[in-house]
Amino acid sequence: MNNIKIIKINKTHIKPNIYLNNFNNYIISDINSLNIKCNMNKIKKSFNMLEIDKYHNNNKSPPTRLRKYFNIDVDMKNNYEYILKYNHDINIFKQQVEDNRNIPRKFALMDYKILYSHFMISYICQISSIVKNIENVNRLNISIHQVRQMCYPNIISENAPEGIHQDGADYIVSALVINHNNVKGGISKIYDLNKNILETIILKENKFIFQNDKTLYHYITPIKCYDDNYLGFRDIIGLDINIID
């Protein structure tokens, strides 16, 4: 039996300030548009507690990616509330893709104080609301990825060695940038199904990209230190969103 924690959220508080009538398969925006107003210090500091992603870059040293993970279900059937079901027993993540990301990977689970924070609950609910407004769905399964990409003096850090790709989900937030320190590069790119480029942007802190993962591809360029006297890092929270019904 799964160890599941349930949180119920009043639906009246779930209303992102994003115009969706002419949704064109992706959105570039910021947390203000998601009606998230909170002190981010606790969230920012939590990235210092991530664990090495042993599956990334053939586990070379020094490590260039740190990660924690969590899986939740979002039930939106009720007209008055969203129900978040936290799956505490799911620590395996597998993507429906054709490269080596389809291998089951086991990650450390995200800290509960972050999962149950006002920020994270708001983030999940508002993104879920966007999907519901696009697709008119009732339930979602969401994989949350808390990731730090590291770079070192004179060492380039590759975030997407698989190249231009999809993640094998219905929708994704490829990145919501939380911290961005001593880094150059990290250019986010969005492509159509023919891999023609549609958008190129460097996401600043608190900016995110939401996109349809079935109709678009994406990529992020490597990062390196802006000042080689110091380490650099880029902290993001990404989402893989799958429609249940």
pLDDT for the residue 1 = 41
Q: What is the pLDDT of residues 204-237, one digit of tens each?
A: 999 999 999 999 999 999 999 999 999 999 999 9
CATH fold label, 4-243? Jelly Rolls (2.60.120)
- Separation between Cα atoms, residue 82 and residue 37, nearest integer Å: 19
The string of pLDDT tens digits covering residues 180-190 is: 999 999 999 99
Q: HEC states along 35-46?
A: CCCCCCHHHHHH
pLDDT in tens, 50-73: 999 998 876 677 899 999 999 999
**Lowest-pLDDT choice from 24-38, 52-66, 110-124, 217-231:** 52-66
Q: Say whether pLDDT at 81 is over 70.
A: yes
Please identify which residue in the block is written with the tokens 């936290």: 86
Q: Helix, strand, coil: what percent of the chain each, to 5?
A: 20, 40, 40
Q: Is the pLDDT of residue 11 over 90?
A: no
Is residue 83 predicted with pLDDT exceeding 60?
yes
Residue pair 235/148 in contact by the 8 Å Cβ criterion: yes
pLDDT for res 3: 73
Percentage above 90 pLDDT, the chain: 78
